[in-house]
Amino acid sequence: MDEKGTLDGKARLESRGDAELIQRQAFVRTARAQWQDLVQEISRSMGFAGAVSDVNVAPLDDTENPFWFSWSYHRPDFPDWENRRVALALPFFGLPSLTEQQANSKKPLLLGAPTEITFTGRISLPKGYTPELPSPVEIKSDFADYTASYFFEDGGLHATRKLVTHLNEIPANERPAYVSFVKAMLEDEGRYVSLIGSGGAATAHSINPEAQRFLEQGRSAMLNGDLPSAASFLERAVELDPKWSDAWIVLGSVRLMQRETDTGLDALRKAVSLAPTNSRAYKALGFALMSLHRNAQAMQLWRDLLKVEPDDRDAPANLGNLLFSAEKYEDARGVLETAVERNPESASLHLQLGRTCLRLGDDQKATELFQKAMKLQPGPEMLNSVAYELADSNHHLADALQYASQAVKQTEADASEVKLDLLDVTDFRRMSALAAEWDTLGWVKFRTGDFASAEKYLEAAWNPMQSAIIGEHLAEAYEKLGKNVQARHTYLLAYAAMGQSTDAKLRAKLTSENAKPIPKMLLKSGAPAKPFEQTDLMSMRTIALPKMETPAEGYKSAEFAISFTKGPKVEEVRFLSGAEELRSATAKIASAKFNVPFPEDAPTKIVRRGVLSCSQLMKGCTFVLYPVEASVPNIQNPF
């Protein structure tokens, strides 16, 4: 953990027995390309809200040895660094709490097969910090034992927790003992370790021990996904200590997770009012307002934070981005300059400040910032970002063409090396990047007046990604080439592709295009009327396979990966997961006619994932290609 409270680490989960079988089967049923997503969900289910990467998995057919998988973990603002205390970065064992009615039941309580689980962890603390070590815990009963121990050595906070269950089911008369056992265990699992720095004692929390206990229980329930219980515990905490800002922060976050927007925001505002110098409260409310697209309120909130915490690192970046989105470029420039000063290694902030300067007509400063961004983050992603900004603002198109071409060349070369038998999530992300880079290069060529070449790249980008902005670019290219029928249809499809985060200007343009009646002159071109009404994006990705043998009964589906080369030609089809009866369908899929355009003759390949669905009701089978996903920021849970 660094001094900003960011945790970077490694995790490994190893299992035997029933847990091993469940975990092994989960990976068997999941396409390799989705393993990172699977581990991300597993990580979240264990109470870890950070980002997962670098997933490694034991051989699925090696049943002689325990099954294991490992991953890297990144979490900014690790709980609860803001208050100079930390969680112990260990999963919860997951023994369920009982309601009052369940606790009084006269039936035995099913516990499951006897098992033994051990979790160990180590957090390297920033230099100068030492922990207030918790006391060791030992809870013994006829049905289970729980132990926990903690020590500090060589700058690392070490923790070991072990749960051993002895019985398949707990006798009815032992239910009260079970309730006490789980309560004591949860209190230990949910504890935070206070840290002492060079400045002295750790930050105090609630003056009411009972309120503190309810907060810990609420956090534990939240991390376990039990939001109703979490809200109940936290409401008790604020009843007992109504002036405790931190408890209101957690309660507000839980209510927002329950989609109780108004009460969630009210709780976060209460946290700010109770502790006007608590930057954590401002940030929790600020990020919540931004996620709800209440940008004007969020801007004022970040300004208020800067008044009480002028040196905060995050507030200028967030305020600057909001001012940019509101097209208040003069105001954004000063704020973003401060953000860059406080985060000098952030390539994205240099890029954003460069975008702002470009819109203010300061080309020289924008160029300097773009160059710095590309230096801080070398590679196709930043090359593409800079090229797009230059093309979109119609500046320095020669440079934009160079950067965009360089990005496409590098990503196409990487894509050409993809092997279906070695697929992982990075290969599909590469396809997303390639589509975005083809769009940028096509948009640059559009700006330079090379509309025919722009059309090729934009069609190649639109086919796999189906992003509203790419569709709009392609429609403009069609218009310049006099292909009005295709332009009109593409505008309609782009309108259908809009999402909640679609830019306001783009939304307005596509809404206007969608509202226009179809001109009679276009209908005279001989095109049928139906395409103008068809805004079903899935139809572009759907292939009928009517001659395939369908299942005798019911519905069957399976996922496959397909690699395409120029032609398009199907190079290879690989079964990923799903109904075993459909595994042999690879040849049928390979012989289907797919519309997968390539822009040029570059030695690259496109890898797509899709689902084959068959049923008697459909009297055949259909194969639907999934759209590649556009990259989106990973929004972190504030806890």
Helix (H/G/I), strand (E/B), else coil: 410: helix
pLDDT of residue 551: 63
Query: Is 514 a member of any domain?
Result: yes
In this structure, is residue 126 part of a structural domain? yes
**Residue 22 pLDDT more than 60?**
yes
Question: Is the distance from CB of 27 to CB of 69 less than 8 angstroms?
Answer: yes
My answer on whether 581 and 511 are in the same domain is no
Instruction: Kindly report which listed range (174-183, 311-320, 515-524) carries the lowest average pLDDT score.
Output: 515-524
DSSP string, 183-218: HHHHHHHT--EEEEBTTBSPPP--S-HHHHHHHHHH
What are the DSSP calls for 84-144, one per residue? TEE--------PPP--HHHHT-SS-EE--S--EEEEEEEEEPPTT-EE-PPPPEEEE-SSE
- Measured CA to CA, the distance from residue 494 to residue 404 in angstroms comes to 23
Among the three residues 78, 99, 119, which one is the final residue of a domain in this structure?
78
Structural domain range at position 300? 209-308
How distant, in Å, are the alpha carbons of 477, 500, 503 from that of 507?
18, 10, 6
**Domain contains 291:** yes
224 shares its domain with 268: yes
Q: pLDDT tens digits for 574-607?
A: 998 888 888 889 999 999 888 889 998 767 889 9
Q: State the pLDDT at residue 632.
A: 28
Q: What is the pLDDT of residue 629?
A: 67
CATH number of the domain that residue 220 is part of: 1.25.40.10
Return the closest-CA partner of residue 423 out of 577, 602, 599, 566.
577
What pLDDT score does 204 carry? Answer: 37
Residue 477's pLDDT is: 96
pLDDT in tens, 186-216: 888 888 887 875 443 333 367 788 888 888 8
- 268 in the same domain as 223: yes
Angstrom distance (rounded) from CA 624 to CA 627: 9
- pLDDT tens for 231-273 read 999 999 999 999 988 899 999 999 998 889 999 999 999 999 9
94 Cβ contact list (under 8 Å, min separation 6)? 224
Give me the torsion for CA of 462, 468, 474, 479, rounded to 10°.
150
- How sure is the predictor about 638, in pLDDT bands with cuts at 50, 70 and 90? very low
Most confident by average pLDDT, 17-31, 76-90, 569-583: 569-583
Q: Which segments of 226-260 does DSSP mark as H helices, in order?
A: 227-240, 245-257
Whether residue 186 sits in one domain with residue 95? yes
Among residues 535, 564, 586, the one where a domain terminates is 535
One domain, residues 65 and 159: no
Looking at residue 197, what is its pLDDT? 58
Instruction: Examine residue 358 and state whether it is found in any structural domain, yes or no.
Output: no
Give tens-digit pLDDT for 388-397.
Answer: 999 999 999 9
Return the pLDDT at 488.
87
Give the C-alpha separation, 541 to 48, whole Å: 36
What does the DSSP 8-state code read for residue 363? H
Domain of 130, CATH number, reads 2.60.120.1130
Query: What number is the average pLDDT over the span 365-378?
Result: 93
Range 345-359 average pLDDT: 93
Tally of domains within the chain: 5
pLDDT in tens, 603-633: 788 999 888 888 766 667 889 888 886 432 2
The answer on 62 and 120 residing in a single domain is no
**Residue 249 within a domain:** yes
Kindly state whether residues 187 and 289 are assigned to the same domain: no
The verdict on residue 363 lying in a domain is: no
Domain shared by 94 and 195, yes or no: yes
Residue type, 410: Q
397 or 280, which is more confident: 397
pLDDT on residue 532: 42
Structure tokens at 36: 């990172």
Which of the residue ranges 269-283, 328-342, 487-501 would you say has the lowest mean pLDDT? 487-501
Question: What integer best gives the mean pLDDT of the chain?
Answer: 85
Instruction: Please report whether residue 365 resides in a domain.
Output: no
Average confidence (pLDDT) over 56-76: 87
Give dist(CA 150, CA 134) in Å, integer.
Answer: 7
Q: Are residues 117 and 145 in the same domain?
A: yes
Asked whether 229 and 214 are in contact (CB, 8 A), the reply is: no
Asked whether residue 97 falls in the same domain as residue 192, the answer is yes
Identify the domain boundary among 177, 200, 223. 200
Rounded distance between C-alpha atoms, residue 582 and residue 402, angstroms: 46
- Please give the Cα distance from 209 to 119 (Å, whole number): 28
pLDDT at 636: 27
Same domain, yes or no: 139 and 154 = yes
* Tens-digit pLDDT profile for residues 421-470: 887 777 878 888 999 999 999 999 999 999 999 999 999 999 999 889 99
Q: What is the pLDDT, as a whole number, of residue 356?
A: 96
Tokens at 67, concatenated: 């099954």
Residue 171 and residue 271 share a domain: no
Percent of the chain with pLDDT over 70: 91
More confident residue, 635 or 514: 514
Instruction: Assess whether pLDDT exceeds 90 at residue 484.
Output: no
Cβ partners under 8 Å of residue 619, min gap 6: 546, 550
Closest to 37 (Cα-Cα) out of 617, 523, 634? 634
Tokens in use for 188?
A: 């230990």
What local confidence, expressed as pLDDT, does residue 117 receive? Answer: 92
Percent of the chain residues topping a pLDDT of 90: 41
Whether residue 635 is contained in a domain is answered as: no
SS3 state at 558 = strand
pLDDT at site 530? 44
For residue 543, count CB atoms less than 10 angstroms from its CB and return exposed for 0-12, middle for 13-18, buried for 19 or more: middle
Lowest mean pLDDT among 23-27, 45-49, 610-614: 45-49
pLDDT tier at 500 (50, 70, 90 boundaries)?
Answer: low
Who wins on pLDDT, 383 or 215? 383
